A and B are shown apart, each in its own frame.
Chain A
Amino acid sequence: MVLKPERININKGISLNLIKMDKFKSNLLSLYLIIPLNREEVTKNALLPLVLKRGTKELNTNLKIQRKLEELYGSELNVDVNKTGEKQVIRFTIEGPKGRYVNDEKYMTQIIDLLKSLVYNPYLEKDAFGFQYVKQEKENLKRLIEARINDKRSYAIGRCIEEMYINEKFSIYPLGYIEDLDSIDNKILYEHYNKILDRVPIEIFYVGEYDNELTNYLIDSFRIEREDVLKLERESITSNVQTKNMIHEDMDINQGKLVLGYRTGIPYDSSLYNGLLVGSDILGGGPNSKLFRNVREAESLAYYIGSKVYKYKSLMIIDGGIDSHNLEKTIEIIRFEIDNMKKGIFTQEDIDVSKKSIKASMESIKDSIFLISEFFFSRELSKDGRTLEEALNDIERVTKEDIIESSNKINLDTIYFLRNLR
């Protein structure tokens, strides 16, 4: 089964991607707003989805929206804001069961209407968003930003990235900053939103069952008059160490969190990038990896330890949960294992295992209606025209030399340690 979306340009910078899928019991509709990440606007953008989901012109309260979704057989609305490279991406998704399972073949148009209203016809008061809604959601956003510290692992990774890219846009926190909130009100936010709707690229994905009639309905629903669309800039990357930090932060917790940030300088469209992916998997991809075996199994230093490549900014992160007194020992093992990767001290079997693992997780995308839309969205972001099958072949073609070459390009930039005081 080769997945290939049917791509239709609706008008300036608005595209509809249709992916036919029979095997799922639901259909899914997602809309993405792709906004360049910048310090001035990040907080306003993060606030937008919170305010938009409070009410539409027709359904002016959350209660009405939620009840509507329940009537539509428990269709699920999901709103999210995320950092993808140096872009801030706002996503709206509604997934609902296919009509044939609920004896209501035609109700998908109501899902489309609802998503359209959420994005294009928000609840307004005199040419501004609802005053109370903005006020309340500013408070909620403030709490969300403060809640960063609650998940210690993701907090530590986020802090490492922040320090490592301190002079680059990539350091910007995607939910924004508390100090910006005071200057935002319902008028300012609505004006800002109009600019966003006028200028930023919009990608729409529909996965499931559809016919010509539904396609036309989607096209008509999401067409809006707008200005010329913004050109998105590609992230700049480098393998040269920029900050060379060793950061310690203390917290009253039981387990320390160690994060090492490496610059790789290998762009995602370089053929060497596949070598980096396989190399990172050998190093810290799963229970078979070097780090898992040596830090966890051999030395009992950690419960979790692993490495991961961040695509758009070409960095690699290694992170693990350890006790403070094992910090040096753990770093030493990590350095030793990275050196081995650079020297080519790993086997053909290691390579085969990692290729299989990467390919299996890529193929598994086909079993999730949500991941299918995410996958093709990321294809659009990176202007990557390959099918999933071609991408799988590219992984298969990686050689030991590719892995050694890519491993030699990675440079340790920042070590971040969230020290446990308990």
Chain B
Amino acid sequence: MKVLENKIVDERLYYKRLKSGLDIYFMPKTGYVKKHAVFATNYGSNDNRFIPIGEDRAVTVPEGIAHFLEHKLFEEPDINIFDKFSKLGAYVNAYTNFNQTAYLFSSTDHFYESLELLVKFVQNPYFTDENVEKEKGIIGQEIKMYQDNPNWRVFFNCLNGMYFEHPIKNDIAGTIESINHINKEILYKAYNTFYNPSNMVLFVVGDLSFDKIVERVNKVENKNFKREANKIEGIYPDEPKEIKEKYIEEKLATSIPLFAIGFKDINLGTKAKEQIKKDLTTNILLDILFGNSSKFYNKLYEKGLIDNSFGSYFTGRADYGHSLIVGQSVSPKEVYEEVIKYIKDIKKNKLSEENFNRIKSKNIGGFLMGLNSIEFISNYFIDNYFNDFLFIDFLEILDSISLYDVETRLENHLLEENIVLSIVNPL
């Protein structure tokens, strides 16, 4: 067992690797009523091409399979998993994003029994032809729900403008057409590859005992998984540095045009701390330039070109990355023009030290306040963990960022040739 401590934020992180290769992390939260566990695999919608465990040739699977698996793991031969958790007073849920699939529950009582149940159900898949067919109707409705969401559409259209090949451009749940090709054999293949304990992590947060957590997981975990020596990874296609399309437009039932302006990142290949630092540096840059304390934001707001839905962020991994500026506007093209002009101007001048320091100070508070929330901690841990970074050291990374880093990022990332404009217009 190892204990990692961060005195500045006054938090500790306990760690142990089980014989199976499964890593367990625990963050004590004294005085909290809620207890929370998340069992996650480093497997998301981006991983639709991979070498199945025990085989030597890569396969491509239908879009939406990671998410489909997430739904189907709740199925067991004789019991209903939702029932079981409900009877323990626990609330169980799951999510799939581009890079991870996570199963989680919160409870105020009977935590350890619920923890056993979580590990057991995720480690014991039960897929039949019938239960796979049944799920297609439910997921079909989920896909339709997202198709009606203009924010979701403007976002994915922008990704489709940026990327030629990378699966990031595909909807996480797939399409009604792609999920039709899913069957239990493909599900087992993906499951056996990516749900190997060495590719997963269990994270627990709450007012609990780490010894007990380890003991309970040890007792119930499925020990039949083969230890995998190699790192399990999806295979990503070679993605050109250029963007695919400069402009994409769609019409939907919405009151006002929505836009997403995307900058495709070309500085890829960074990992772990370096990746986190790049991520944070870019987000500080965007906040200085476009945040609601920026002159740019306030100018456009006063002109009536944007409202407080306007925002910007960077996200990425070793194999992809992009900054997005999003919002709604009566005239998205004008916003787009303003953004381009502004970036040109700002590159001629220097960023101010004062703005930089203020945004840094804002990030300190944001992180500290995030630590109030068990859900924030859980999401943030998982997301960073699979990026080989333990999130409690966030403030150290923040501290290491200089104004020079931010200016360099401005030069290298916000490039005019890599901009995509996606607009959703009212019908």
Contacts and interface: CB of A to CB of B under 8 A. Distances in A.
B141 A255 contact: yes
B372 A287 contact: no
Given A132-B302, A303-B138, A101 B293 contact: no
Nearest to A79: B308
B74 to A, nearest CB: 9
Nearest to B374: A367
Interface string B92-113: 1000000000000011110000
Interface stretch (B31-39, B116-124, B158-166): B31-39
Contact of B364 (A97, A253, A363): A97
Contacts of A149: 253-255
Interface in B191-248: none
A364 B106 contact: yes
A97 B361 contact: no
Contacts of A98: 368
A74 B365 contact: yes
Nearest to B92: A287
A146 B374 CA distance: 35
Nearest to B151: A150
A151 B328 CA distance: 14
B360 to A, nearest CB: 9
B87 interface: yes
A251 B372 contact: no
Contacts of A367: 32-34, 373-374
Given A132-B302, A302-B141, A66 B292 contact: yes
A19 interface: no
Nearest to A256: B144
A345 interface: no
B79 interface: no
B145 A303 contact: yes
**Chain A: interface residue count, which band?**
35 or more
A363 B108 contact: yes
B256 A147 contact: yes
A25 B372 contact: yes
B368 A356 contact: no
A360 B108 contact: yes
Contacts of A356: 86-89, 109
Given A26-B372, A66-B292, A101-B9, A148 B148 contact: no
A256 to B, nearest CB: 9
Interface string A367-406: 1110000000000000000000000000000000000000
8 contacts: A26-B365, A69-B362, A73-B362, A74-B364, A286-B86, A301-B137, A349-B87, A359-B108
Interface of B: 8-10, 29-34, 82-83, 86-92, 106-109, 134-139, 141-142, 144-145, 147-150, 252-256, 291-295, 298, 301-302, 304, 307, 328, 358-359, 361-366, 368-369, 371-374, 427
Given A26-B369, A70-B293, A300-B134, 8 more contacts: A62-B292, A67-B293, A74-B361, A102-B368, A149-B254, A255-B148, A286-B91, A287-B82
**Closest 7 A/B residue pairs (Cβ):** A74-B365, A300-B137, A356-B89, A74-B362, A66-B293, A288-B86, A73-B365
